Amino acid sequence: QVQLTESGGGLVKAGGSLRLSCAVSRRTFGSSAMAWFRQAPGAEREFVAAITWADDSPWYAPSVMGRFTIARDNAKNTVYLQMNSLKLEDTAVYYCAAAAGGVTEVRSKPETWGQGTQVTVSS
């Protein structure tokens, strides 16, 4: 069973930056693709960004394109989400997710979830 542990959330002012980390207990076929999702209060969980361990072809939601960057460190089994130019509407609990396959699969059918980390953007 793959375990995902997020960290790096916190309180930041609009326009600021945060970097989230997702530590993966072990890389298996079932965690070949990694993604970040978020859920704001009263809203459904939504896709943010995805990447695979094998290549550098990330996929982003339009709302974060150009502001957020997903990256992975294969040696550390860690996936990052660098968030710049944060907006009030980025406030949410951010979840790390994993799935077998590629970015399409982890975006549509994530199989393993982390516990989430809170990101709060203030004015």
**pLDDT digits 0-9 by tens, 4-48:** 999 999 999 999 999 999 999 988 877 899 999 999 999 999 999
The terminus-to-terminus CA distance of the chain in angstroms comes to 40
DSSP characters for 82-119? Answer: EE-S--GGG-EEEEEEEESS-HHHHHH---EE---EEE
Three-state DSSP at 76 gives helix
Of the pLDDT bands very low, low, confident and very high (cuts 50, 70, 90), residue 76 is very high
* Cβ–Cβ under 8 Å, residues 44 and 37: no
Pair 45, 26: CB distance under 8 Å: no
What confidence score (pLDDT) does residue 14 get?
A: 98
In the three-class reduction of DSSP (H, G, I as helix; E, B as strand; rest coil), residue 53 is classed as: coil
β-pairing, 68-73 with 92-99?
A: unpaired
Return the bridge partners of 4, or none: 24
Q: How confident is the model at residue 60 (pLDDT cuts 50, 70, 90)?
A: very high
